[in-house]
Amino acid sequence: MGIWQVQIWGDGFIRDGSTASFELGGIVEARNVDEAFDNAVALARQAHPELAQAQRPPGPGAVINAEEIQEFHDAPREQVGIVELYWSDANA
């Protein structure tokens, strides 16, 4: 298992009746890049059930994409498993 720093973005989500996008960042533990992406999204989904709108494989509608995922060997242990998600309203 490795420690990974992730930057993820999403677009096309319906939230409170408006189209919204998000940026997500955090540090997760995973075996590889794909698992780091999945773990970060799963953690964020606990507080933001709207993320379930993005389907795999990608289709029309909401999408979630990795911006950057890299190994982070010197991550403080107390930050592992924490992700932060910030929404922005596309209609603003």
Condensed to tens digits (0 to 9), the pLDDT of residues 59-80 reads: 678 999 999 999 998 889 999 9
Q: Are 3 and 27 in contact (CB under 8 A)?
A: yes
pLDDT at residue 47 tops 80: yes
The tally of domains found in the chain comes to 1
For residue 90, CA distances in Å to 18, 25, 60, 69 come to 7, 19, 17, 25
Tokens for 38?
């999945």
pLDDT at residue 53 tops 90: yes
pLDDT at residue 33 tops 90: yes
Integer Cα distance of 61 and 1 in angstroms: 33
Containing domain of residue 8, as a range?
A: 2-89
Q: How far is CA 87 from the centre of its chain?
A: 11
